Structure 1
Amino acid sequence: MMLVGCGVNNKRTAEDNQLYNKSGNSINVAQHGENYNRNQQDNDLFGYVRQVKSPLPVGESHSTKPIQGINREQTADDIARILVMLPGIEDASVLVTDQEVLIAYLTNEKRSDERFEIADQVKKTAMNVVPRWYHVYVTDDPNLRQNVENIASMNARSTSKDKTVRDTVKLMLERSPQGRNLNNGENPNGEAIGEKNHHLDRTNYRQQFENKK
């Protein structure tokens, strides 16, 4: 019994030393034990899920349910599951903080117009899942996925959280299209047009595309 107990403890220690666990569904999440914490109660925690496209078995489907309160990790999982079902999306990492959604996704599209359309789909997908006050930022730059994963280890009380999110968002806006304006009063990320956003008011990439579509 002592040997068995030691083996279990060693296994748990090995798992706890890894920030992200991988399940049979190719989901990596920022917590230990399960795919995600369905009963997440700590409002300070962020939710992070990485989902890789894989064919669903015949007859199996996944549906999302209306979010009440908002379980950030459940929300990240819902968004990621939908994204990998979209054409052109092979891999999606979704981070849900207390007021932003950051999405790093993998696509084989290289042309600027194709990248723009996919970014628009990805952004709108997330907007349909989260509460309306959220801002959504997306990137197809694979080098920025690690930036998103680094934020997943933080929480709303982390002293460097705001600066880290701000710096990552700035890079996402500079390197990747964000899609069309949501409406006449909001830019592609859900920010009110004309108001100074605490992340970034203008980028070269945004100036290039915001009046194009």
Structure 2
Amino acid sequence: MIALTGCTTDNSLRDEHEKIADELDPTRDEGPVRDPGYEDPEANSRLGYVNYTKEQFEQDPERNRVITMNRTEMADIITRVILRHEAFDEVATLVTGEEVLIAYEKNDLLEANEAADVARKSAESIMPRHFEIYVSDNNVLIRDIESLHNSTTKDPDYDNTIEQIITEMKKSPQGRDD
């Protein structure tokens, strides 16, 4: 009976991990939600432009809307940029309000410091400068980051968990600070 309970727990953990992996699968949302060129092939080549006068802005009913960043989309972009480099086999990225945490598994094409530099510079090229960026080739941290994928900044253990992960990440090369 105890062995069956143990197997059930292992199967439950495996099922939960597979469910999370499916939720986080970057290919599952293909189509109009993920690809701006899906219905409009020229969407990816258009320039972005806006121009308001102060008067127009003051009259805009949305002028007081909160400006937000889609953290999941930013994490997705960073991960995809890093994976374009042939030295990376798996990358997990978490974007918070202040930090970017990147854990990766690399192959032997790059030394540890070079891989850290590629990961860091990829994130720096995408994120605003005020974000602190932490990287690690400790692939155990991939699962730690994954465990936070449904978290919010209001979760009770959020700050403590993030700090623990950052402490572990700092044990890995962080790339050059240019």
Q: Does TM, normalized by the shorter one, top 0.5?
A: yes
What is the identity, as a one-letter code, of the residue corresponding to 1:135? E
Which of these residues, 133, 143, 146, is aligned with residue 146 of structure 1? 143
Aligned residue pairs total 133
> Any conservation in 1 of the 2:92–2:102 contact (CA below 8 Å)?
yes
What is the identity, as a one-letter code, of the residue corresponding to 1:128? S
1:165 Cα deviation from its structure 2 partner: 0.3
1:27 Cα deviation from its structure 2 partner: 2.2
Gaps of 5+ in 1: 1-13, 40-61, 183-213
What is the identity, as a one-letter code, of the residue corresponding to 2:90? D
Paired position in structure 2 for 1:180: 176
Q: Which runs of 4+ in 1 moved over 3 A?
A: none
**2:112 aligns to what SS in structure 1?**
helix
What is the identity, as a one-letter code, of the residue corresponding to 2:177? N
Gaps of 5+ in 2: 1-14, 35-43, 49-66
TM-score (norm 1): 0.54
- For 1:95-125, what per-residue CA distance to the aligned partner results, in whole angstroms no more than 9, with x for missing partners? 1111111111111239xx8110110111010
**2:95 aligned with 1:104:** no
Matched residues in 2 for 1:19 and 1:91: separation? 15
What is the identity, as a one-letter code, of the residue corresponding to 1:116? N
TM-score (norm 2): 0.64
Matched residues in 1 for 2:157 and 2:94: separation? 16
Matched residues in 2 for 1:18 and 1:180: separation? 37
Structure (1 or 2) with the greater helix fraction? 2
**1:90 aligns to what SS in structure 2?**
strand
Paired position in structure 2 for 1:27: 26
What is the identity, as a one-letter code, of the residue corresponding to 1:170? T
Matched residues in 2 for 1:109 and 1:164: separation? 30
Matched residues in 2 for 1:134 and 1:150: separation? 21
Over aligned residues, Cα RMSD in angstroms? 3.2
What is the identity, as a one-letter code, of the residue corresponding to 2:144? N
1:22 Cα deviation from its structure 2 partner: 5.7
- For 1:189-210, what per-residue CA distance to the aligned partner results, in whole angstroms no more than 9, with x for missing partners? xxxxxxxxxxxxxxxxxxxxxx
Paired position in structure 1 for 2:57: none
* Same amino acid, percent of matched pairs: 29
Paired position in structure 2 for 1:128: 125
Paired position in structure 2 for 1:55: none
Paired position in structure 1 for 2:91: 92
**2:147 aligns to what SS in structure 1?**
helix
Matched residues in 2 for 1:78 and 1:144: separation? 19
